[in-house]
Structure 1
Amino acid sequence: MAKETWHEGEIRGLGARTDLRTACDILGMGHTAGYRMAKNGTFPVPLIKVGRSYVVPVAHLLDLLGLSRGSEMAAA
């Protein structure tokens, strides 16, 4: 089951890259739609195709969500 809400620290905690399913969860889109968009080249962030899989750079997700790549989130 997919997470309902991803927080900034959780996204940053993924490291440099993640898989397409996780990226879809973060963006609140269905996996089928996400894979279709990836195949058609219309996924909202650039993807890296590795064999039959897609790799999503977390930095591009952060940019799309309006979260600065370089700065860490403020302490809660």
Structure 2
Amino acid sequence: MERFNGMDDFAEFVAARSAALLRTAWLLTGDDRAAEDLLQTALAAAWRRWRRVAAGPTRRRTCARSCSPRI
């Protein structure tokens, strides 16, 4: 049985997608600092649910949706 290595997978996701997610957060907020805060909040929420998020069809969509209710 293969062990789930969520930390490495999450770190790869953040490295690959954080710039695009930050742009999306900026489009939602219109402010650099608010966008950074929103992204940090979304990534923290994604990390707490990473095992389920990683198994889902679209990680980016899941993270972007986690931003929406906070606006």
Q: Which has the higher helix share?
A: 2
Higher strand proportion: 1
User: TM-score, length-normalised on structure 1?
Assistant: 0.30
The alignment's TM-score, normalised by the length of structure 2, stands at 0.31
